[in-house]
Chains A and B, each alone.
With several copies, the nearest count.
Chain A
């Protein structure tokens, strides 16, 4: 794109018979400029999306550390292995068919059917970076579930449910709500559900509820861990073995959530108005701010709530509260005002405390509180969005269909809320209809729960080649055989 005055000048000569040439020359230049802008847009948006995907991936590390710290030392290897494999098996399955089921447009409203094995990618609307981003989401859903059924599930059951969830159950849900063809998607190019579609921006329903409800069924079907409830039915806390790992995992999840929520815009170079400093880049920043505020409020609410209820300043509870706030804000992060995020986080903390109480009462045992946290707070997040979505932001984030319904409390009527209630019902229904039977079949086949002996001894010793930690060794004293630090049976 270089303009030469020497070439252009003669075209402007007074007896301009060559006006056409001049016009062509000038317009050719402009076209070149336009092309360059297209390229620039791709480069910026891809950079943005890829680094967001990397952040989302780092959540898998966060899950691994959170889970590891929340279980007892004797099951650490087991739970970490499942987290590594969520990512690894998820990578293959999502590549082979998960992405195709989710985003394989054009398709029907129920399931996608292109891009198997990334065939024909890139297209004008899907590049490899989109795949990577969506893969990181898919494995997050599987990671949530693994927490619910920790410490008592056979490793084979993990492999089976994880593949099924990442490769089929989750992709179908994401197709419904996020694909341009999805029957309930707010991006749907045809008729929108209730004229609005579901605004689940980054996946309180699509990711967190799916993972949480899957975990709920798994944990329900296999029952609580041995010792979780005593004969009188009183709940006994089976504390995790390392609070440091819990905090590490929580902070990593927080870090990664900045890819999860703001990253869900996928593109950053979209102006909202001509000649203005305001554009999608502002919306992205706002999303990061709402995310932060919801989590912060939920953490503080939990801190004081738990102080009043239990008398302790408990860091692991605060961490769970924080994550509950994040799970809740995920649906509406891009379309609500920062002050509303504070409301969202406050309620999310109460929801989590309530769900935990309920779980204790019904003797439901979830080592990571995953069903309560991701299921319960996720549900609240979906409802919250329908109440507080702001008109201006909804129209900016989901452009092209002016006059969309928005939040009930913001004066936007009840149609968005109706759509979101539908979302909650179908997500609960779909996940129950797929994962419930799966877990039940595994249970009947004796593939779900480990033996009583294994559970008491810990799976690391019996299935995973040894204990996760060896802080003291004296191999040099007792000859060769290494001594393992382990619970001794005859310890007082």
Chain B
């Protein structure tokens, strides 16, 4: 047990009284201060771990959000399929990230390319990493896989999901996160030793690039290789909207993602108990930065939602809640990179542009006959890339130095007067992420495609995978179990209700 803080005057008195024992007095007093210091360290750990754990739980809630968003965005006949992939992203991701994913990502000391410690959480916890950090990073890893599953929904074999998901969560994503987030990573702003890329390192605070672009680009390749769903483009090449089966689920998923994003962005500080030692403003510390991050996140999403609402109204004539939800998420994906280092007003700009980026990419996708049921590649890939550029333009000097402390005079945003070096690092990040994900995931999808493991058969796709692969439809609103004494127990599907007699 540590020394007690409590101090007995009776003990201290003799030490101070007759002065020969000055050393003893000093030792006594200092041992008490030592105890105080230990207790404070404990309190810091307790607070920071509480903060990180609850943030991790919020990020995990995003997986639920993805599941609902995906379920609502596909047709009813493929609901079971897409939800199963979301459950398994989390489950398979949990095992593969435990066994080696975390080790690849954060197993320092290591080289700049890949980590090499903590396989199977061996020698955990260490002074720099506790179990809560593993949990938090796992929740991030499964989010990346969740993004990709949206792009290739409704036409992909289940085995292909299992393979790409394990590969992405266990290898592709961890390597990228090692580069940009680990203390050893070659391109990260948080690199601890050696010189930084362009003297700056890429600032991807919560992962516009590391998470969203990785997931989005992986999805892009998957969707490109297997081609559009049957019926997505008619013979004349005109695009036909294949609407999802439930907007309630889409809205539910979107709000859950919004809720979870408060763990994703502000949580990426990992600690909250850190003073910035601002002598004039003692109330200012990491806790304020955490709050500011939550505010910038909110404003970017809100702006993107409103921009999408009015833009779509002008373009299409409808007030469309699905589009607004996607715009909202695009704003979030974009602000994720810079959320901690920009001013709230800049977040509004971020969201405004993100909305147009998304609209633009969607137009482009239609023109190229690219089919992505969740718009995941456009949303996470496109808006994620914009987010990285945005950070290179708008990062504010004082915030950059607070959040990435220890190296004074870092470059910061171009438009804030910080020169172009940060922007250069951000562009390098975009390029290497595109390159790396393409070099790993595209061959994988292509190999699956060649092995006939990627796309389902035409019959399966038309009938819906739930009936053919997953044991039945997801919904039974009309049931005829009343006739269950009859020999046929075939479950009835939700049939066109028009003919159903009324009571």
Q: What 0/1 pattern do residues 285 to 300 of A give for CB contact below 8 A with B?
A: 1101100110111011
B23 touching A456, Cβ below 8 Å? no
Q: Are B306 and A92 in contact (CB under 8 A)?
A: yes
The docked-state distance in angstroms from the alpha carbon of A251 to that of B256 is: 12
A22-30, A180-188, A404-412, A431-439: which lies at the B interface? A22-30
Give the complex CA separation of A118 and B299 in angstroms.
12
Q: Is B471 an interface residue (CB 8 A)?
A: yes
A31 touches B7 (CB 8 A): yes
Find chain B residues with CB under 8 A from A288 CB: 53, 56, 131-132, 135
Please tell me if B337 contacts chain A, counting CB pairs below 8 Å: no
Residues of A close to B39: CB separation below 8 A:
37
Residues of A close to B245: CB separation below 8 A = 469-471, 473
Q: Which bracket fits the contact residues of B?
A: 35 or more
- The 0/1 profile, CB within 8 Å of A marked 1, for residues 124-168 of chain B is 111100111111001000000000000000000010000000000
* The residue from B8, B231, B501 contacting A488, defined by CB atoms under 8 A apart: B501
For A73, list chain B residues within 8 Å (CB). Answer: 476-479
Best-buried of B91, B98, B247, B485 by chain A (most CB within 10 Å): B91
* Complex interface: chain A residues within 8 A of B19 (CB): 12-14, 16
Q: How far is the CA of A57 from the CA of B266 in the complex (A)?
A: 15
Flag whether B94 is at the interface (Cβ < 8 A).
yes
A40 touches B484 (CB 8 A): no
- Is there contact, CB below 8 Å, between A470 and B282? no
Q: Is the CB of B47 within 8 A of A43?
A: yes
B275 close to A46 (CB less than 8 A): no
* A and B contact pairs by CB, cutoff 8 A, 30 listed: A3-B34, A4-B30, A8-B26, A13-B19, A31-B7, A50-B290, A50-B294, A51-B54, A53-B294, A55-B57, A64-B255, A73-B477, A80-B321, A81-B324, A92-B303, A124-B283, A241-B479, A243-B79, A268-B49, A282-B130, A285-B53, A286-B125, A295-B91, A465-B319, A471-B76, A471-B497, A472-B493, A485-B477, A485-B478, A490-B501
Shortest beta-carbon distance from A297 to chain B in Å: 6
Task: Compute how far the CA of A29 lies from the CA of B7 in the bound complex, rounded to whole angstroms.
Answer: 9
A322 to chain B, nearest CB (A): 7
Residues on the A chain within 8 Å of B133, using CB: 285
> Which residues from 1 to 39 on chain B have a C-beta closer than 8 Å to any C-beta of chain A?
1-2, 4-9, 12-13, 15-17, 19-20, 22-23, 25-27, 29-30, 32-34, 36-39
Whole-angstrom CA separation of A300 from B67 in the bound complex: 17
A247 to chain B, nearest CB (A): 4
- In the complex the two chains form, what is the Cα distance from A58 to B93 in whole Å? 24
A399-429: which have CB < 8 Å to B? none
Contact of B328 among A51, A88, A123 (CB under 8 A): A88
Which one of A64, A90, A226, A318 lies within 8 Å of B88 (CB-CB)? A318
Q: How many A-B residue pairs have CB under 8 A?
A: 527
State whether A300 and B91 are in contact (beta carbons under 8 Å apart), knowing that A3-B33, A292-B135 are contacts in the complex: yes
Closest partner residue, chain A, to B348 (CB atom): A92
Q: Which residues on A sit within 8 Å (CB–CB) of B484?
A: 226-227, 230, 236, 238
B391: CB under 8 A from chain A? no
Is there contact, CB below 8 Å, between B23 and A9? yes
A contacts with B: majority SS: helix
B341 to chain A, nearest CB (A): 14
Nearest-neighbor residue (CB-CB) of B296 within chain A: A128
Q: What is the bound-complex CA distance between A310 and B71, given in angstroms?
A: 24
Cα distance A60–B301 in the bound complex, in angstroms: 15
Query: A72-B476, A480-B240, A483-B502 are known contacts. Are A281 and B288 too (CB-CB below 8 A)?
Result: no
Give chain B nearest CB distance to A451 CB in angstroms: 14
Residues of B within 8 A of A92 (CB): 299, 302-303, 306, 348
Contact check: which of B234, B324, B470, B491 meets A85 at CB < 8 Å?
Answer: B324
CA distance A247 to B252 in the complex (A): 13
| B474–A242 touching, CB < 8 Å | yes
Q: Determine if A155 and B319 form an interchain contact, defined as CB atoms under 8 angstroms apart.
A: yes
A463 to B319, CA, bound (A): 6
In the assembled complex, the Cα of A302 lies from the Cα of B41 at a distance in Å of 43
Q: Is the CB of B306 within 8 A of A473?
A: no
- Chain B residue numbers with a CB within 8 Å of A230 are 484-485, 489
| Contact (Cβ within 8 A) A487 B482 | yes
- Interface residue stretch chosen among B58-66, B207-215, B356-364: B58-66
- Is B469 positioned at the interface, with any CB of A under 8 Å from its CB? yes
CB-CB under 8 A from A392, the residues of chain B are none
Interface flags for B321-343 (1: CB within 8 Å of A; 0: not) read 11011001000000000000000
Q: Per-residue CB proximity of A233-257 to B under 8 Å, as 1/0?
A: 0001111111111011011101100
Chain B neighbourhood of A31, CB < 8 A: 6-7
* A268 to B, closest residue via Cβ: B46
Task: Tell me which residues across on chain B come within 8 A of A144, comparing CB atoms.
Answer: none
- Cα A3 to Cα B3 in complex, Å, equals 14
Q: Point out the residues of chain A lying under 8 angstroms from B63, CB to CB.
A: 251
A142 is an interface residue with CB less than 8 A from chain B:
no
- Bound-state Cα–Cα, A152 to B132, Å: 44
B495 lies within 8 A of chain A by Cβ? yes
A87-B302, A241-B476, A259-B57 known; 12 new pairs, CB 8 Å cut-off, are A16-B19, A20-B17, A46-B291, A51-B54, A88-B328, A90-B302, A95-B299, A130-B291, A237-B491, A282-B131, A300-B92, A465-B316
Chain B stretch 276-302: residues in CB contact (< 8 A) with chain A: 281-288, 290-292, 294-295, 298-299, 301-302
Contacts of A295 in B (CB 8 A): 91, 94
The answer on a CB contact under 8 Å between B5 and A34 is yes
Q: Which residue of A lies closest to B471 (CB)?
A: A312
A14-B22, A88-B302, A315-B87 known; A27 vs B294 contact (CB < 8 Å):
no
